[in-house]
């Protein structure tokens, strides 16, 4: 019991010292003044509108591609070809949302943050357009990083894969 309490205390102190996680996106970020850049594509938003779990960044993938990491009050946005796809959120757990994208449409997904055993858990859910636009407007755009940094990130995440798949 003392070991568990010590571990939780260390994790709490670490998260307090590291502050809030920022939202970081590795894929191209579309022009937000347009509803969609290419009418042959679909636009996806993943929004994390709460500050709960602020020190915990959560990975977001579209199928096997790392899109970025969400932080509190942040969102990710990208465009892709229409069709069936999976949006995957990873933290203490993995949440998978299957979506059948139609061309020319925008899809809004909320990443809900929940109390976990050791760190925060996540759950993805589809929002309607009005609710999605409102939540995006209340959040910050991501920090954009180059694709070469994504390759470096993938190498690091592969070496820490055991930590991601609790």
pLDDT tens-digit readout, 121-157: 899 999 999 999 999 999 999 999 975 654 555 555 5
**Residue 164's closest CA among 25, 57, 63?**
57
Q: What residues does each domain of the chain span?
A: 20-164
Indicate yes or no: pTM above 0.95: no
Task: State the Cα–Cα distance between residues 116 and 130, nearest whole angstrom.
Answer: 30
Q: What is the pLDDT of residues 67-119, one digit of tens each?
A: 999 999 999 999 999 999 999 999 999 999 999 999 999 999 999 998 888 78
pLDDT over 90 at 31, yes or no: yes
Task: State the Cα–Cα distance between residues 94 and 108, nearest whole angstrom.
Answer: 19
* Confidence band for 18, pLDDT divided at 50, 70 and 90: very low
What would you report as the CA-atom Rg of the chain, rounded to the nearest whole angstrom? 16
Task: State the Cα–Cα distance between residues 72 and 87, nearest whole angstrom.
Answer: 19
Cβ atoms of 129 and 108 within 8 Å: the answer is: yes
Q: Where are the extended beta strands (E) located within the chain?
A: 24-25, 42-48, 58-62, 65-70, 74-80, 83-90, 94-101, 106-114, 121-127, 143-144
* Confidence band for 6, pLDDT divided at 50, 70 and 90: low
């Amino acid at each position: 019991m003392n070991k568990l309490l010590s571990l939780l205390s260390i994790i709490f102190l670490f998260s307090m010292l590291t502050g809030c996680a920022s939202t970081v996106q590795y894929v191209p970020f579309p022009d937000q003044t347009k509803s969609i850049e290419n009418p042959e594509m679909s636009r996806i938003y993943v929004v994390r509108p709460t500050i709960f779990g602020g020190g915990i960044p959560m990975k977001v993938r579209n199928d096997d591609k790392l899109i970025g990491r969400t932080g509190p009050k942040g969102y990710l946005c990208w465009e892709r070809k229409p069709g069936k796809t999976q949006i995957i959120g990873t933290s203490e757990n993995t949440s998978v949302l299957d979506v059948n994208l139609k061309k020319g449409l925008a899809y809004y997904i909320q990443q809900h943050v929940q109390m976990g055993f050791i760190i925060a858990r996540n759950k993805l859910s589809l929002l309607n357009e009005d609710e999605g636009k409102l939540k995006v407007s209340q959040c910050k755009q991501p920090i954009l990083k180059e694709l070469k940094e994504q390759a470096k990130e993938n190498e690091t995440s592969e070496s820490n894969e055991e930590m991601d798949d609790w």
